[in-house]
Structure 1
Amino acid sequence: MQIRALDQQSQAEQMLVNVERLSKCFRIYDKPADRLRQSLAARFKVPGRTTRQYGRDFWALHDVSFSVKRGETIGIIGRNGSGKSTLLQMIAGTLSPSEGSVAVNGRISALLELGAGFNPEFSGRENVMLSARIMGVSPEEIRARFDDIEAFADIGEFIDQPVKTYSSGMYVRLAFAVAIHVSPDILVVDEALAVGDTAFQTKCLTRIRQLQKSGTTILLVTHSTNTLVEYCDRAIYLKRGRLIKDGACRDVVKLYANDLVDEEGGRAIDIPLPDDAASETVQEKDVMGVVSDKTSILDVKITDETGKDRTTFSFGDPFRVTVSIRVSQPNRHPCFGLQIKSVDDIVLWSATTQNMNLELDPLESGTYHFTWALRANFSGNRYVLAIGVGDIESGEYKRHARLPYGGHIDVLPQSNSGSGWLAPCPEFEFKP
């Protein structure tokens, strides 16, 4: 039996998911007719003769092992085709392993690929009732929670329309609303959230925070390194169906980023901090990002205008982002960039010294510091900073190094001014 319940000893240890040497093999055919030929060849096999093989084996997942404790949030990262969705489907029980085993303890609520779980001919209301029953929730319980599900999904009158008429965003809204309102012990979320708009993604991530506080175990697939660092206790990196690293989020993100550069023909290396890195302006820091043999980012400091370390600001407050870099090769046309992003990795604002029409002096080898002076003209929220350094080549910005997470700032909400990412300082006037 490959899908099994955890034994009593594991329950005592509060282990909700245990994956042991898990593998999944699919048969791949070049043409649809080859699938039929293979089926006929197997059915009418002649004893003593070798059956011709029309397809080939593809191992989507190979020898993966890890465990998840109660209350942990595990982020799963990897390029498309790395086996992330296959892994989650086997944990959720919708796909059987070819080898190995998955052991689970508790109610699983899964939000997998778009289109899974709902009957397109049924209305949203009917699908809510059906999905809840499949997850083991009684009709009385789901009726008691239906108003909350409907409010969270916020799809209006479409709740009573066939799901086949839904947009992808509406589908995800309803699916996520159901998944979080059935009191799961384990919430499994694939990349389906990427379909939703920014406001809904923020709403979902906020609810994930609440589930974390209540002790729900969460498995979250994401391409956003910021979401991984911000929301997960640890991370798993899959590459071509194999588990490359299971560990601290920052370590996994750094390895993942380096691999991306390697695969695209670049070179990712770690440059040790110079001897003067212990000074007040360049402090040793766990820098996650990709560095080159030309320039590396040593440190990022966020301060107020007086130079005091600070990450919480009110609307309009000035703040400064000071970046320390090591230039290993002379840079005749330096260019620096800054991005301000949401916690789910959506770029809200970006600039480079080039598009600000700033001409910078050439840089010789050495350590340098530069500062961005800004104002927190944002709505109440958390904002992530990403740093880039490079040069101008043939009129284009060529990046030497990028720090996807250079720190974050929290902007306190303004009273009576709305919510979101923007801060337009609204005024309202009504004339009858």
Structure 2
Amino acid sequence: MNVLSVKNTGKSYRNYRSEWQRFAGWFGMNNAPRDEHWVIRNISFEVRSGESIGILGKNGAGKSTLLKIVTGTLQPSEGSVISTGRISAILELGMGFNPELTGRQNALHSAGLMGFSKEETLQALPNIEAFADIGEYFDNPVRTYSSGMQARVAFAVATAFRPDILIVDEALSVGDAYFQAKCYKRIDAFKKQGTSLILVTHSTADVVKHCDRALFISEGHLVKDGAPAEVTNLYLDELFGKRKSKSPAAEKDQSLTFTASTDDLFNTRPGYRKDEHRWGQGGAIILDYRISTAEEAFPAQIECGERVEISFKVQFTENHENVVPGLLIRTLEGLYLYGTNSFISSRGVSNISAQAGQIRIFRFTLPLNLNEGDYMISFGVSAGTPPGELIPLERRYDSVIVKVYRTQAIWGVIDLNAEFESSELTI
């Protein structure tokens, strides 16, 4: 049975030449607007009872507008939305919370706005407090809360009473792993009772893990409604870029081959981060890079533990007796996870001279033993002979983002591949 039906739904914002023309339009008079901007258009899909739907799309694609129409806080300009049963939504972190009121007071207020009586809310309040699990902060003003604490209270209130449709828009992304697991356990329990989930997130792993279907929205249009794996690949292609070629084999050969061009090609490569930090004393220019696995060049995502080849092209503008290329891997927050260079990787036996005008390719191969997430890669080349002082010729810090996925979650950031065994002592 369908609990939600969205048919040819669109939302536009119109500008009129005068407020009188806008007013006349309310009564059906044919007054064309001066200009019209469609945020979403021709969106159609259905959600069945107990089904989980993931919605993916870049910022500005129209996801939030669609959810506001589904929840009834925004009216569509065209099309229809028909829902059966009660909808509970967390569209924005702490939306509707009064920062001067305590968590307890906001819970009472929010539940009232959801249509529950004071008696019903008071009865559910101990469970809300227990699920949020923020201790004495529950009776402190919300303005003193961290984003994670707001997410805890917001989710606890939204799920205090089982809804027919639960909508979560990125609210869980700020919570810690323990709270996320707790939330998904409650969602799974609701699903078994018939609750449908609409999950809007930038985490492709969450969509694959928790959703039966996924929708990919781009520039206000529904591009794909299908299996989570297919939809997440399309989303990653749009996010990080995807090359076009006549055949997979030709694509791989072309992607792995550097040309003799001296153009800076970083901004043409998938995963390039335009906010990179570039510096150095000169004498060398880092022009291009490649990231590849055994199966694919510039993969949209890399499986944890998979061996990856990271290579980059450097043009030298001065003579150097010895150069040392290297790379760094950092988290999005800037935490250094791993760094190496030609001296470390070759155990000190590498000596690389360079002449002005020469172009060289440097390659590092390593298993990417990282937990699921996004990571930044930096490239660099220095002059000198370790362990003496190195002169940085060119640095391109945080210039590439790679996405890592894994089927089995771990704690922390790096997978150290621990081994386990158990034994019994005889008494």
Q: TM-score, normalised by structure 1?
A: 0.62
**Are 1:351 and 2:350 matched, yes or no?**
no
SS at match of 1:268: coil
> 1:57 aligns to what?
36
Report the counterpart of residue 186 of structure 2 in structure 1: 210
CA contact (8 A) 2:325 2:341 kept: no
CA distance in 1 between counterparts of 2:141 and 2:271 reads 51
Is contact 1:295–1:390 with CA below 8 Å preserved after alignment? Answer: no
Pairs aligned (count)? 343
- Structure 2 counterparts to residues 98-117 of structure 1, below 5 A: 98-117=77-96
Alignment correspondent of 2:49:
70
SS at match of 1:236: strand
Equivalent pair of 1:335/1:397 in contact (CA under 8 Å): no
Contact 1:129/1:139 (8 A) holds in 2? yes
2:258 aligned partner: none
Q: Is the 8 A contact 1:188 1:220 kept in 2?
A: yes
Distance 2:10 2:351 in 1: 55
What is the SS of the residue equivalent to 2:404?
A: coil
Does 1:323 find its partner at 2:307?
A: yes
SS at match of 2:248: coil
Q: Residue 404 of structure 1 corresponds to which residue in structure 2?
A: 403
- 8 Å Cα contact 2:310-2:365 kept in structure 1: no
Structure 2 distance, partners of 1:67, 1:15, is 7
Deviation string, structure 1 residues 53-108 (Cα, Å, up to 9, x no partner): 5x632211111111122222222121211111111111111111111111212221
Give the alignment partner of residue 244 of structure 1, picking from 218, 223, 240. 223
Report the residue type matching 1:405 in the other structure. Answer: V
Residue aligning to 2:18: 38
Corresponding position: 1:145 with 2:120: no
- In 1, the alpha carbon distance for the partners of 2:19 and 2:294 equals 60
Once the two structures are TM-superposed, the CA of residue 395 in structure 1 deviates from its matched residue by 3.3
Counterparts of 1:125-140 in structure 2, within 5 Å, are: 125-140=104-119
1:278 corresponds to which residue? none
Which one of 248, 272, 276 corresponds to residue 248 of structure 2? 272
One-letter code of the match for 2:292? Answer: I
* Aligned equivalents of 2:235, 2:117: Cα separation in 1: 43
Alignment partner of 2:159 out of 180, 184, 201:
180
3-state DSSP class of the match of 1:76? strand
Distance 1:338 1:213, change over 3 A: farther
Q: Choose the corresponding residue for 2:292, options 291, 297, 306.
A: 297
Cα RMSD between the aligned structures? 4.8
What amino acid does structure 2 have at the position aligned with 1:81? G
The offset of 1:189, in angstroms, is 1.0
Q: Which stretch of structure 1 is more off in the superposition, 139-148 or 349-358?
A: 349-358
CA distance in 1, matches of 2:325, 2:249: 21
Amino acid at match of 2:79: G
For 2:372, the equivalent position in structure 1 comes to: 384
Please state whether the residue corresponding to 1:245 is helix, strand or coil. Answer: strand
Is the 8 Å Cα contact of residues 293 and 308 (structure 2) preserved in structure 1? yes
Deviations 1:229-259 (A, max 9, x none): 3333332211111111222223222222222
| TM-superposed deviation, 1:260 | 2.9
Unaligned 5+ runs, structure 2? 251-268, 273-287, 296-302, 316-323, 353-359, 382-392, 416-427
1:399 positional shift: 9.6
| 1:387 to 1:325, Cα distance in 2 relative to 1, 3 A | farther
1:387: Cα distance to partner?
Answer: 8.4
Aligned to 1:220: 199
